[in-house]
Amino acid sequence: MARVVGVRFREVGKVYYFDPVDDKFEKGDHVIVETVRGIECGEIALENSDVDDSQIVKPLKKVVRRATEADLKVVSENRVKEQEAFDICIEKIAEHGLDMMKLVNVEYAFDGSKILFYYTSDVRVDFRELVKDLARVFRTRIELRQIGVRDGSKMLGGLGMCGRPFCCSTFLGDFQPVSIKMAKEQGLSLNPVKISGTCGRLMCCLKYEQDTYEHLLKITPKQGAIVDTPEGKGVVVETNLISGVLKVRLDRCPEAAPHTFGRREVKIIKDAQIKVNRSEMEAFKDIEG
């Protein structure tokens, strides 16, 4: 076990572990730390805690010091500079005819030694001349970094179809893999418009209930399964995973309307297999996250 603090550099970003040395930090404190990008100012997201060594990327860097008022002023000034740099970069992108680039965000290094420009693009972009032009304007190291559409949505923020702010820009630190299989198992419409987020990828919220659905699928007879019920043997014709209600067509009266039973009232004699439509799965590859 190691004693660490968790530091976040963006409002809703990944939490990185640092050695607090002998200091005690509270959530919301600002600290100066050394990262692979240089000296940065971050916010404590996890107070002094013990974590397993397997969760730590070694060597564990130490917290340099608490952030001072002067440090926070530098951070505030950098936010203003970032907006100015964003506007200038938009102009330069237009001048160089790089219409395929969509600038998403700009980040100043804490000490001003580097400026990062984040962009999205569907094609490979030759931005060498653009970098030279930006370097002449800002007189510092310039880095252009291409990001995916999900990361772009996380940085920009917005409202989802549910009417709430994007999960990725409010509380999701890391993206989780999302597949069309999840939508299929949850009985959702496979219409891409209904199960895709604003970013064009499958909605992150498909992941939230997946563990529950996987459990329910294991204990619920599938449609087509042969089961034994209090009224005799029959075939499952309809299931409701959430309520656990099954509709069974009994062998003794196949022409009659299906009888309704609870999941716990039946016993599986022979379960059915879920058939996977591979062509349907292939059609959704582009929106899987």
CATH 1.10.3470 fits 223-270, yes or no: no
Question: Per-residue confidence at 51, pLDDT binned at 50, 70, 90?
Answer: confident
CA–CA distance from 4 to each of 16, 38, 49, 56, 117 (Å)? 10, 20, 6, 9, 31
DSSP of 55-85, one letter per residue?
Answer: G--SSPPBEEEE--HHHHHHHHHHHHHHHHH
In whole angstroms, what is the distance from residue 211 CA to residue 195 CA?
18
Q: Are 269 and 226 in contact (CB under 8 A)?
A: yes
pLDDT in tens, 39-50: 899 999 888 888
For residue 58, which phi and psi values (nearest 5 degrees)? -90, 150
Q: Please give the mean pLDDT across all residues of the chain.
A: 88
pLDDT at position 156 is: 85
- Quickly name the fold that domain 73-147 has: GMP Synthetase; Chain A, domain 3 (3.30.300)
- Is residue 274 scored above 70 in pLDDT? no
Q: How confident is the model at residue 122 (pLDDT cuts 50, 70, 90)?
A: confident
Continuous H helices in the chain: 69-95, 128-138, 149-156, 180-185, 192-195, 210-219, 278-283
Predicted confidence at residue 189, as pLDDT, reads 83
How far apart are alpha carbons 142 and 113 in whole angstroms?
Answer: 9
Q: 155 has which bridge partners? A: none
pLDDT interval class at 112 (50, 70, 90): confident
Amino acid, res. 68: T
Provide the Cα torsion 194, 196, 199, 201; round to 10°: -160
CATH 2.30.30 maps onto the chain at 223-270
283 pLDDT tier (thresholds 50, 70, 90): low
Rounded Cα–Cα distance for residues 100 and 122 (Å): 7
Cβ within 8 Å of residue 120, ≥6 positions away? 101, 102, 104, 146, 147, 148, 149, 152
Can you state the percent helix, strand and coil of the chain, rounding each to 5? 30, 30, 40
Where along the chain do the CATH 3.30.300 domains lie?
73-147
